[in-house]
Chain A
């Protein structure tokens, strides 16, 4: 089923009611039907003086989760430094700092855009910043603009591995609900809808021979990723308890492979991301929780 592509590490930050900072919008009648939940930004805000030139809130969170995903995959910095490791992100909205830059320019004029702000205001900044921090020199890209962005990023990672461009890829799917993004979500969703959750999910996707050679934990085997077209009747898996927009699919994969009860989960699961405008993507994964490489 797989071309020998496996998931060897996962990391997830998902906004949830109760343990995360929750921003409930709904003062206007038009937006009473759902909430927008944000992740905690305290860690970034505390470190902002030293990190501002190096990190945005998104790249800061991503860099932390890269450390987690590598730890889970039993990899250290030396092992991923070099051309064998690539990185890719997928997000519907991308980085809110991009929208914020345009707002600053409109409100405060040209001098409000300095070199750092401008360089950081690209949707590929988080993956670039992580590449610099960890020395990743493999392929890199940022997919944006649809609910399938995260799954498209996973597809690209799979392509790179199958085509022999690198040995492993860090796949990051996220939504950054800062700045004007929540307003846009509310305007787009209208009066009713599921809660929208800020999320960042990372996978370490590797060629199985590479993972096996270092006796890495193999969490799942990745199947072929297929595009769904036409009248899409399938539904998304929806493990997150809310809408994670462009992180859908990848967040489900992270939850499923990291879940403590995954050993009892079905052996083969189909994960989907569906965008009503541009279509969908689906992949089948075989869960291999607790099956260490021989």
Chain B
């Protein structure tokens, strides 16, 4: 299989815009959720989230677009794709991609809300017709805006497969690169919190009122978040030829269904996804030093995920370090797999997994985990990032440290 290098990364979360700030923040365990400033959550049972403040995005994006010589964008485009644009611009800047190469770059975007489906009705009001809301109401709007603003003219696709959207996007990008359809693909996710997410996850009783405690004996549920994470994936030879230094490599992906239940996961589906990724990569479970778990902090998810991991990593003496970073960033839903892919690459670069600051009473899973007070070192060149979504859609990504 043709190697695929990661030559740039960009990220936006509530407490950090940009990879350097994010790496420092997430490695220490991230922050605590708060009530969002732009959505009234007072009527919901669980009110807190990790929601990016729109003003912070607006300011950072204006600076970044100016620095990159890109034209300013309208309010609707900014509301819809601001997070993704910020992350994409940073990733492309880090990859030192000249503008002529950007035209050959494609984009694979994961999303829950992608466009602004929650403003669909607003878009239909006559007085709103000129605002551009109609154009951004569709689920693929964010990818189209990124393509137009940054000038990406390679393959474009948007994936909306609940919380497992990101592995599908990465798998698509990997296939486009390996098929030679494009030399460079921007792959990642971009999402913004909607009131419906609060309503729905509260209705499911899946949210913790206070904080997310993945793999904690006292865990009570997830806390949602928003933001974006984008990775520049590049054909290894192409990257080498232009002198780009890989930050890491995307080695393989695995995709598999539970075929079990819409909201209740089954360990066999995730196990199949992991097995597929390992087999296609030609790796043994022992080769994996770290697994960034989906780890939502719901009682069922973490139990099922631990069972799936145990069925793959059967040699207890050589099991990888595992962690969930949702206690740091919140659950970014469709974008979760993208931000966790980025964290996995950062972890491989540092040789250490982020602290799990909110997991004060770790449940016995049969796997070692980082503590609350700082990152924990692991050995190995390979790491895995797993995602599970509504409907039993599973994805597993395998990354290798930069060579």
Residues of A whose CB lies within 8 Å of any CB of B are: 81, 83, 86-87, 92-94, 98-99, 101-103, 105-106, 109-110, 113-115, 117-125, 127-129, 131-132, 134-146, 148-149, 152, 156, 159-160, 163-165, 180, 183-184, 187-188, 226-227, 229-230, 277-279
Assess whether B258 is interfacial by the CB under 8 Å rule.
Answer: yes
Q: How far does the Cβ of B86 sit from chain A's closest Cβ, in whole Å?
A: 20
Docked Cα-Cα span, A129 to B260, in Å, equals 9
* A residues in contact with B117, CB < 8 Å: 98-99, 102
Knowing A94-B160, A124-B393, say if A184 contacts B134 (CB, 8 Å). Answer: yes
- Of A83, A103, A142, the residue contacting B121 (CB under 8 A) is A103
Looking at B139, B141, B148, B158, which has the most chain A CB atoms within 10 Å of its CB? B139
- Is the beta-carbon distance between A227 and B123 smaller than 8 angstroms? no
* A residues in contact with B276, CB < 8 Å: 165
Interface size of B in residues (CB-CB distance below 8 Å): 70
- Is the beta-carbon distance between B153 and A229 smaller than 8 angstroms? yes
* B residues in contact with A183, CB < 8 Å: 124
Looking at A113, A142, A145, which has the most chain B CB atoms within 10 Å of its CB? A145
Knowing A119-B390, A135-B259, say if A184 contacts B123 (CB, 8 Å). Answer: yes
13 A-B pairs in the complex with CB atoms less than 8 angstroms apart: A102-B119, A114-B203, A115-B200, A115-B203, A118-B204, A125-B391, A135-B259, A140-B161, A144-B159, A145-B115, A227-B106, A227-B181, A277-B144
Across the A-B interface, the 5 shortest Cβ-Cβ residue pairs: A145-B140, A128-B391, A118-B200, A139-B255, A113-B199
- Is the beta-carbon distance between A144 and B140 smaller than 8 angstroms? yes
Q: How far does the Cβ of B112 sit from chain A's closest Cβ, in whole Å?
A: 8
Docked Cα-Cα span, A60 to B257, in Å, equals 19
- Is the beta-carbon distance between A277 and B148 smaller than 8 angstroms? yes
Assess whether B290 is interfacial by the CB under 8 Å rule.
Answer: no
Assess whether B147 is interfacial by the CB under 8 Å rule.
Answer: yes
Docked Cα-Cα span, A127 to B144, in Å, equals 24
Assess whether B64 is interfacial by the CB under 8 Å rule.
Answer: no
Assess whether B389 is interfacial by the CB under 8 Å rule.
Answer: yes
* A residues in contact with B267, CB < 8 Å: none
* B residues in contact with A163, CB < 8 Å: 175, 280
- Of B141, B158, B255, the residue contacting A160 (CB under 8 A) is B255
- Is the beta-carbon distance between A118 and B199 smaller than 8 angstroms? yes
Of residues 298 through 320 on chain B, the ones whose CB sits less than 8 Å from some CB of chain A are none
Knowing A144-B158, A278-B143, say if A136 contacts B257 (CB, 8 Å). Answer: yes
Extra inter-chain contacts (19) besides given A144-B138, A146-B158, CB under 8 Å: A86-B257, A92-B140, A93-B139, A106-B121, A110-B195, A114-B203, A121-B200, A128-B262, A132-B259, A137-B259, A138-B255, A142-B161, A142-B168, A144-B160, A145-B139, A149-B140, A160-B255, A226-B181, A279-B153
Closest to A278 in B: B156
Assess whether B201 is interfacial by the CB under 8 Å rule.
Answer: yes
Of residues 249 through 298 on chain B, the ones whose CB sits less than 8 Å from some CB of chain A are 255-263, 268-269, 272, 276, 280
Q: Mark B167-196, 1 if CB is under 8 A from A, else 0.
A: 010011001000101000000000000111
- Is the beta-carbon distance between B262 and A125 smaller than 8 angstroms? yes
* B residues in contact with A229, CB < 8 Å: 153-154
Knowing A94-B139, A137-B258, A145-B138, say if A124 contacts B269 (CB, 8 Å). Answer: no
Knowing A118-B200, A128-B393, say if A139 contacts B257 (CB, 8 Å). Answer: yes
Closest to A181 in B: B120
Q: How far does the Cβ of B164 sit from chain A's closest Cβ, in whole Å?
A: 8
Q: How far does the Cβ of B392 sit from chain A's closest Cβ, in whole Å?
A: 6
* A residues in contact with B204, CB < 8 Å: 115, 118-119
Knowing A119-B263, A184-B120, say if A143 contacts B158 (CB, 8 Å). Answer: yes
